[in-house]
Structure 1
Amino acid sequence: MTRPVIHYTRCPSVPTVTALAHARGLLEDEFRDEPDVDFEYKSVGFSPKLKYDGADRFWLRNAGHAPAVWKRSLGVECKVVGLAFLDGRYPVLTLHRSGLDRPASLKGRRVAVFHNPDSPFDLMVAQQLKIYQTALKSDGLSLDDVELVYLPRFHPGAAKGGFLLSLFHKGIEALEAGDVDAVAASIPPDGGFYPQLNVVYDTRLASDRVDRVHPSVLRGLVVSTPLLEERRDLVARVVARLIEASEWAATAPIDAVRILASDLKQAPETIASVYENIPQGVRLDLNEDYVASLAAQKTFLLRHRLIEHDFDLESWIDRSILVDATALHRQRQTDAVKS
Structure 2
Amino acid sequence: MTETLWYTRCPVPTASGLAHSLGWLGESAAGNGLSFGVLQDAGPELAVRHFDHGLPGLVREGGNVPALAARAAGAPTRLIGLTWIDEAQAIVVGPDSTVSTAPELAGLRVGIPAWAQDQARSFPRAMALHGFANALRLGGLTLADVQVTEVAVEPNPQVRTESQQRGRSLTWGVEQLLDGTVDAIYVKGARAQEVAREHGLRIAVDLDATETRRLRVNNGTPRPITVHQELLDTRPEAVIGFLAQSLRAADWAAGDRDAAAAVLQRETLSGPEGVTAAYGADFHLGLHPSLSDERVELLGVQQQFLYTHGFLATDFDLESWIAREPLEQARALVASGRAAA
The bucket for the TM-score relative to the shorter chain is: 0.7 to 0.9
Q: Is the 8 A contact 2:65 2:219 kept in 1?
A: yes
1:96 CA drift (Å)? 4.3
Cα distance per residue 1:213-259 (max 9 Å; x no partner): 10123211101111111111221111111110110000011211211
Other-structure match for 2:37: 40
- Mean CA deviation greater in 88-97 or 310-319: 88-97
In the alignment, the residues of structure 2 paired with residue 328 and residue 48 of structure 1 have an alpha-carbon distance, to the nearest angstrom, of 28
Contiguous gaps of at least 5 residues in structure 2: 42-46
Other-structure match for 1:315: 320
Other-structure match for 2:138: 138
In the alignment, the residues of structure 1 paired with residue 52 and residue 179 of structure 2 have an alpha-carbon distance, to the nearest angstrom, of 39
Percent sequence identity over aligned pairs: 26
AA aligned to 2:38 is Y
Other-structure match for 2:330: 325
Larger-Rg structure:
1
In the alignment, the residues of structure 2 paired with residue 198 and residue 57 of structure 1 have an alpha-carbon distance, to the nearest angstrom, of 44
In the alignment, the residues of structure 2 paired with residue 107 and residue 189 of structure 1 have an alpha-carbon distance, to the nearest angstrom, of 25
Superposed CA RMSD in Å reads: 2.6
Pair 1:175 & 2:177 matched = yes
- Mean CA deviation greater in 133-142 or 223-232: 223-232
- Mean CA deviation greater in 299-308 or 274-283: 274-283
For the residue of structure 2 that corresponds to 1:8, the secondary structure is strand
Other-structure match for 1:188: 194
In the alignment, the residues of structure 1 paired with residue 116 and residue 65 of structure 2 have an alpha-carbon distance, to the nearest angstrom, of 17
Other-structure match for 2:204: 200
In the alignment, the residues of structure 1 paired with residue 242 and residue 339 of structure 2 have an alpha-carbon distance, to the nearest angstrom, of 19
Other-structure match for 1:118: 117
Quick one: structure 1 residues 163 and 232, their matched pair in 2 at CA, closer, same or farther if it must change by over 3 Å? same
1:162 CA drift (Å)? 4.2
Other-structure match for 1:268: 272
AA aligned to 1:188 is E
Equivalent runs, 1:91-110 vs 2, <5 Å: 91-110=90-109
For the residue of structure 2 that corresponds to 1:311, the secondary structure is coil
Quick one: structure 1 residues 126 and 173, their matched pair in 2 at CA, closer, same or farther if it must change by over 3 Å? same
- Mean CA deviation greater in 143-152 or 110-119: 110-119
1:38 CA drift (Å)? 2.4
Q: Is the 8 A contact 2:116 2:153 kept in 1?
A: no
For the residue of structure 2 that corresponds to 1:105, the secondary structure is helix
Quick one: structure 1 residues 335 and 26, their matched pair in 2 at CA, closer, same or farther if it must change by over 3 Å? closer
Quick one: structure 1 residues 31 and 334, their matched pair in 2 at CA, closer, same or farther if it must change by over 3 Å? closer
Other-structure match for 2:26: 28
Q: Is the 8 A contact 1:103 1:135 kept in 2?
A: yes
1:31 CA drift (Å)? 3.0
TM-score (norm 1): 0.87
Quick one: structure 1 residues 83 and 109, their matched pair in 2 at CA, closer, same or farther if it must change by over 3 Å? same
1:192 CA drift (Å)? 5.8
Pair 1:85 & 2:84 matched = yes
AA aligned to 1:25 is G
Other-structure match for 2:227: 223
1:120 CA drift (Å)? 3.6
* Count of residues in correspondence between the two structures: 324
Residue of structure 2 aligned with 1:300, choices 292, 302, 305: 305
Cα distance per residue 1:127-172 (max 9 Å; x no partner): 11111011110110011111111111356767662434xx2xx534
In the alignment, the residues of structure 2 paired with residue 78 and residue 184 of structure 1 have an alpha-carbon distance, to the nearest angstrom, of 30
Other-structure match for 2:62: 63
Other-structure match for 1:248: 252
- Mean CA deviation greater in 70-79 or 116-125: 116-125
Cα distance per residue 1:97-154 (max 9 Å; x no partner): 3322212112121000123533443111111111101111011001111111111135
Cα distance per residue 1:190-224 (max 9 Å; x no partner): 9565xx44321111112211110101232111011
For the residue of structure 1 that corresponds to 2:218, the secondary structure is coil
AA aligned to 1:175 is L
AA aligned to 1:17 is A
1:41 CA drift (Å)? 2.6
Other-structure match for 1:289: 294
Q: Is the 8 A contact 2:5 2:29 kept in 1?
A: no
For the residue of structure 1 that corresponds to 2:193, the secondary structure is coil
Other-structure match for 2:44: none
- Mean CA deviation greater in 238-247 or 275-284: 275-284
Other-structure match for 1:163: 169
TM-score (norm 2): 0.86
Q: Is the 8 A contact 1:112 1:180 kept in 2?
A: yes
AA aligned to 2:23 is G
1:62 CA drift (Å)? 1.1
Quick one: structure 1 residues 27 and 289, their matched pair in 2 at CA, closer, same or farther if it must change by over 3 Å? same
In the alignment, the residues of structure 2 paired with residue 191 and residue 302 of structure 1 have an alpha-carbon distance, to the nearest angstrom, of 34
